[in-house]
Structure 1
Amino acid sequence: MTVPATSVETRFALAKTVAREAGALAFHYFQQRETLVIETKRDLQDVVSIADREVEQLIRQRFAEAFPTDGVLGEEYGLEAGTSGFTWVVDPIDGTSPFVNGMPNWCISIALLKEDRPVVGVIYAPCHDELYAAADGLGATLNDRKLTLDPSRNIRNAVTGIGANNHVTPAFVAGIVERLLEAGGNFIRNGSGALMLAYVAAGRLVGYYEPYMHAWDCLAGYCLVNEAGGWSHAFPARGESLVKGAPVLAAAPGAIEDLRRIAGI
């Protein structure tokens, strides 16, 4: 089904504005992070603070004001269903662990679904003042510079991002890393899956794989990678599947087959 261009473009413009506003609030908290009360969720590596909650509240408020019938799914406050057919998918601060430890590897991630398909992806990295933005059929940009992936880049002449969390065993992740290294590749992990997906779209990484990831971590990055000319493994975004995790893999053209084989996808 074709999505009316104006309905997506209007929301796309809003997403970029809201991402910068949310980023400014998050950066304010980042500068005074020593005063934040840090709470744990699933384990000691899965943390949250008032910054995450207030940034998500701000984003929700802005979308409710402009598009009150849109749904919103956020990491901190869950799913609020809408009736418009559009659902915003938000991670207020992806990379909270780097955030609270004073590292710049965190971002604001905003995706827009039309039914179950990501049609807008915006990721803002405040510490670098980098705004990654993409919309269905409009391409992807970094600070308004068009992003187009180089097909000559592959796992052997570039770097792959790898993610891990306590939803999968250390042995499983170790197997992924072992297969990547045996195939002649190399990897990094910076603590923010959303930001590493943006790096794939920008050509800084040739691919990103995480065995278990949530919609708010990956859907904005998927839109960016796809619009930059890359490929992404389908994420189940319909019904209850939207709030559950799934494997995430995105790649530049020259790395698709190698990374699918390494990931077993």
Structure 2
Amino acid sequence: MAVKKTTKKDETAAEKKKTVRSTAKAEKKEELLSPAFLSTFDRYLFNSGRDYKIYKKMGAHFTKVGDTEGMHFAVWAPHAEAVGIVCDRNGWNPNANLMSPLDQSGIWEGWFPGMGYGELYKYAIHTKSGQILYKADPYAFSAEFRPGTASKTVSIDDYFWEDQKWMAERASRSTFQSPMAIYECHLGSWLKTDSQDENGFMNYKDLAHELADYCNYMGYTHVELMGIAEHPFDGSWGYQVTGYYAPTSRYGEPKDFMYFVD
């Protein structure tokens, strides 16, 4: 079979097509991320340390672009060469879903179409020295049950609080003149079940009733929880925090914790 010889003209045409494809991909990506999830003002407040609700923008949040649903991700990695979203959907490939840097803010953002709630993920941080570091999301609302260390996409937006009566009564009380007795408690060791599932940990919902009944019976007015944020090692009692916005998954999901507080 005769092999056609490639001419300079053919190479130029191929390079032009490659450039057009790259430009089209960039424009499509810009379209998917527009309007910016984190505005210029968001980034200004974040970098000045004065955005007290930044958890609503950073981390993983469900979004809809046009008719396509997916998850928007944002993480601060100012010294990274590149950042990728890794999860089951892309086989944990660090180059499959690269994020975009937002100006000089140090924030990287990305949008993963089709991704929903209850999915595990991490960030693949590409360092300037050529290493790839797999990191959990510091703004995640939930995490994988240990010893796993991945973050998990969850919604905390549609919980219906039922504390209206209590809040109204609190407003009428003289809080600072009332007696106070605080019960400090570590949920993981306070009470367990006989089941070996999840190491015998009780769910936040069950603990809510058990602990409230006990404190009322003993005359306590307040509960102080020890180490409730996500952490890797049980023996630390929760004082090796890896997720400040994630109640530990040892005792259930974020909405179970909301029920506990409620």
TMscore range, shorter length: under 0.3
Q: Which has the larger radius of gyration?
A: 2
Relative contact order (C-alpha < 8 Å, sep 6+): which is higher? 1
| TM-score (norm: length of structure 1) | 0.26
Higher helix share: 1
| TM-score (norm: length of structure 2) | 0.27
